[in-house]
């Protein structure tokens, strides 16, 4: 997203709508993966209803 539009909650509105649709019409569970250092995204995901249920370790070579 362009920097001048960040921090306005625009992504959360769209994400919440997609999440509602997916849960109602597609699947009983929706999940995602985000890096632990991406605190801005993690906060956004929490605001639309996601919760942390586990952790994975990425190993890069």
Structure token pair of residue 19: 């999440």
User: What are the residue boundaries of the structural domains of the chain, listed by start?
Assistant: 3-47
Scan for tokens 């959360």, then name that residue.
12
CA–CA separation, 58 and 53 (whole Å): 17
Residue 1 has pLDDT above 80, yes or no: no
Can you give the pLDDT at residue 55?
86
| 37 vs 6: which has the higher pLDDT | 37
- pLDDT tens readout for residues 8-60: 888 898 999 999 999 999 999 999 999 889 998 999 999 999 999 988 887 77
- pLDDT tens readout for residues 41-51: 999 999 999 99
Alpha helix ranges (H) inside 1-61? 10-25, 39-47
Residue 61 has pLDDT above 80, yes or no: no
């Amino acid at each position: 997203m362009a920097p001048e539009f960040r921090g306005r909650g625009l992504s959360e509105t769209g994400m919440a709508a997609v999440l509602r649709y997916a849960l109602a019409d597609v699947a009983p569970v929706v999940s995602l993966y985000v890096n632990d250092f991406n605190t801005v995204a993690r906060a956004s995901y929490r605001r639309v209803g996601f919760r942390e249920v586990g952790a994975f370790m990425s190993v890069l070579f």
